[in-house]
Structure 1
Amino acid sequence: MNRKAAAVGALALAGTLLAAVPAQADSAPRSDGAKSVCKRLPTTQERVDKAVRRLNGDATVAGSVARLQQRVTDAKVAGHTEMYTYLNDRLTFRKTLLPALQTRQADLKSVATWCAAQPSPAASK
């Protein structure tokens, strides 16, 4: 009886696995997501612009490169070697964010131009 139950269980498992293969194929993207990107574009642009303004801010702006640079300098002057190393590594990373975000700003401007040139969803119905 146990062999029969095991065989039925194995057969059921094999059937389940075979049935799942077409379902996985259906999960592949059907488009490039342009409609969603265009819909979220204003919010995305606002977030990137805000991050660039923050990074370019002066030493009074939390999250700015200048403020972190001041903290690195203060740690070095105070002789806090471990803090200096930690903050300097953060500063190095933060400085790499700015060019990446500026590139993203330019890309988003191109995407905005492209989105504006597309027919409206109401016109395609």
Structure 2
Amino acid sequence: MLTNRRTAAVSLGTVVLTGALLSASPAQADAGAPSAAPSAKSAPKGDGAEALCKRLPKVEARVGAALTRLNGDATVPGSIARLEKRVAEAKAAGHTEVHTYLNGRLTARKTMPATLQKRQADLKSVSAWCAARGTK
């Protein structure tokens, strides 16, 4: 009797698994097909000006903090001076791979202040626009 129950359970499990696989096949076949144009629900309803005006003080603070950190001395984690010191130490120690890696990071980090200063200037313009509209 126990054997019949096990056989019935295995048979039932097989039927359920087969049904699940067969019903999932059309959904999986559809997943690779390109979808139609996005629906109207997902389209933006504006340029996000109100939300940007609301977040503006926090964004300005973050940009200012990043500039302060980048322009800090060698004791400030994340500063250009600290990374320059690490590059020099790696070179002096003869760690060429580490030197190459850190030097690449230094090159990228040296471009950041100019980008952030441009962003800071843009945020001042946005701040003036928000203030003129009374949305700040």
TM norm structure 1? 0.76
The change in CA–CA distance for 1:90 and 1:119 in structure 2 (over 3 A counts) is same
Q: Of the two, which has the highest radius of gyration?
A: 2
Measured after TM superposition, the shift of residue 25 of structure 1 is: 2.0
**Which of 51, 60, 77 pairs up with 2:66?**
51
Structure 1 residue ranges without an equivalent (≥5): 1-9, 11-19
* CA distances 1:92-125 after superposition (whole Å, capped 9, x unpaired): 111111111111000001000000000359xxxx
d(CA) in 2 for partners of 1:72, 1:23: 48
The equivalent of 1:96 in structure 2 is: 111
Question: 1:29 aligns to what?
Answer: 44
Q: 3-state DSSP class of the match of 2:39? A: helix
Mapping for residues 1-125 of structure 1, pairs under 5 Å: 24-120=39-135
Deviation digits for residues 78-102 of structure 1 (CA, Å, limit 9, x no counterpart)? 1110110010011011111111111
Unaligned runs of 5+ in 2: 1-25, 27-34
Query: Equivalents in 1 of 2:49, 2:73: separation in Å?
Result: 37
What do the CA deviations read for 1:51-89 (whole angstroms, capped 9, x no partner)?
000000011100000000000011111111011001001
Q: Percent identity?
A: 59
Query: Do the aligned partners of residues 68 and 24 (structure 1) sit closer, same or farther apart at CA in structure 2, a change above 3 Å counting?
Result: same
AA aligned to 1:109 is K
What TM-score, normalized to structure 2? Answer: 0.70
